[in-house]
Amino acid sequence: MLDVADALAVVLRHAGRLAPADGPLSPAALGRVLAADVTADRDSPPFAKSLRDGYAVRAADVAKGPGDLRIIEDVPAGAVPTKAVGPGQCTRLFTGAPIPDGADAVVMQEQARQVGIARVRLDDAGVKPGQWVFPRGQEMAAGDVVLPAGTPLTPAALGLLAAVGRTSASLYPSPRVGILATGDELVEADAAPGPGQIRNSNGPMLAALAARAGGTPRYLGIGRDDKARLKALVRDGLDTSDVLLLAGGVSVGDFDLVPDVLAELGVTTHVRTVRMKPGKPLLFGTRGNTLVFGLPGNPGSAFVGFELFARPALRLLAGHALPGPTVVSLPLAGPLAASNDRPTYHPAKLEGASVRPLPWGGAPDLRGLVPADALLALPAGDVRYNAGDPVPVVLV
């Protein structure tokens, strides 16, 4: 039996980046990771531009005190000035418009009063050169690496890629995640369970967890507790997945066929049990580059096992530098006493800058997990915390 940290190290050792490919930069690329540096194709802004609606001036003309200036031209955004601003002159312009030659500052229109045809009085004695001017190349210069390889695509990154003229980029792909629930007691959500049967909640939950972690889930169905039939499904999963998730059948009961089936299909098992609660039986194996997770069948255990081990692996495959899980120390919102024989992960909810344990009935209780966005990482043994005490928390 391995400790969580050791089991995670084993998993991550086997999780290499997938081969990058060129992909379109649609919103579907959100969360993907760039596989190559992206450079700016031009300066931004490409010209010194106005940050306000107002008047381009020579600052020295206005700093002397309110004086009348002659308006020599109007320049809306998208137009280009054709005249240089000389002493006693100004150009009417709008946010985003290029600053004309000769001008070195902008006075806001709120500080201007029309005093005749094409004449304006500007009251801004504090004006200094550079006021309300966004200089050329301030954001980036042509040739700058603006998005280095390894950058995850956030909304801002997708905007920036458009700003430098990109519609596609070299990206690490979304890992293909095969999902297989196992158990003779299972029926799908659209079926009425017969005596002794329950609905398959792990299939949809794991597909959603895989999608949230950046994978592309493919649901393979329910594997029955029958070796030949289970084997056919697992073979399909191994052949078509970067990561294969199995739920149920990994324990040591008579009907827990997953470990044998995996061995017969050429999967090498690296982890069999982990010192944790819930989810002690947790199998991790590999066949070639395909990673296989045999998660326990109880939904709470499958959830915790996925977040602690499968999600970090998916992140590495997808090109992220930091696999997680993200662990932070947060003060408890209320007191907590617990007694566990193994390190325990308890569903919790972030409340501002603190964390509140959720009422939870243990591994089979999926309902209690619904509001969880964190797991308290409690040590083995008797623990007693007061409100405000810091506890380690895994963000999920």
Taking the alpha carbons at both ends of the chain, their separation in whole angstroms is 24
Coil, strand or helix at 4 = helix
296 binds, among ligand AMP, Mg ion, none (CB under 5 to 8 A by kind): ligand AMP
DSSP state of 28: G
Residue 274 forms beta bridges with which residues? Answer: 2
286 binds ligand AMP (CB under 6 A): no
178 binds ligand AMP (CB under 6 A): no
Q: Candidates 47-55, 180-188, 230-238, 371-379 — which segment interacts with ligand AMP by CB under 6 A? A: 180-188
The residue written with tokens 């959720």 in the block is 358
293 vs 385, which CB is nearer to ligand AMP?
293
d(CA 302, CA 80): 62
CA nearest neighbour of 103 among 79, 133, 126 = 133
Taking the complex as a whole, the smallest distance from the CB of residue 258 to Mg ion amounts, in Å, to: 9
d(CA 40, CA 342): 52
Return all residues near 253 (Cβ < 8 A) that are at least 6 apart: none
183 binds Mg ion (CB under 5 A): yes
Q: In terms of C-beta density within 10 A (0-12 exposed, 13-18 middle, 19 or more buried), how is residue 357 classed?
A: buried
Q: Are 88 and 122 in contact (CB under 8 A)?
A: no
Using Cβ positions, the residue closest to ligand AMP within the complex turns out to be 297
50 vs 202, which CB is nearer to ligand AMP?
202
44 vs 202, which CB is nearer to Mg ion?
202
Q: Are 131 and 153 in contact (CB under 8 A)?
A: no
d(CA 134, CA 166): 24
Q: Are 94 and 115 in contact (CB under 8 A)?
A: no
277 binds ligand AMP (CB under 6 A): no
d(CA 288, CA 196): 38
186 binds, among ligand AMP, Mg ion, none (CB under 5 to 8 A by kind): ligand AMP
Tokens representing 144?
């700058």
Taking the complex as a whole, the smallest distance from the CB of residue 215 to Mg ion amounts, in Å, to: 24
285 binds, among ligand AMP, Mg ion, none (CB under 5 to 8 A by kind): none
Residues 234-273 contacting Mg ion, CB under 5 A: 248-249
186 binds ligand AMP (CB under 6 A): yes
50 vs 202, which CB is nearer to Mg ion?
202
d(CA 374, CA 389): 16
105 vs 363, which CB is nearer to Mg ion?
363
Q: Candidates 45-53, 183-191, 308-316, 318-326 — which segment interacts with ligand AMP by CB under 6 A? A: 183-191
Stretch 233-272: interaction string toward ligand AMP, x if CB under 6 A: --------------xxx-x-x-------------------
Chain residues binding Mg ion by CB under 5 A are 183, 248-249, 297
Chain residues binding ligand AMP by CB under 6 A are 181, 183, 185-186, 198, 200-203, 247-249, 251, 253, 296-299
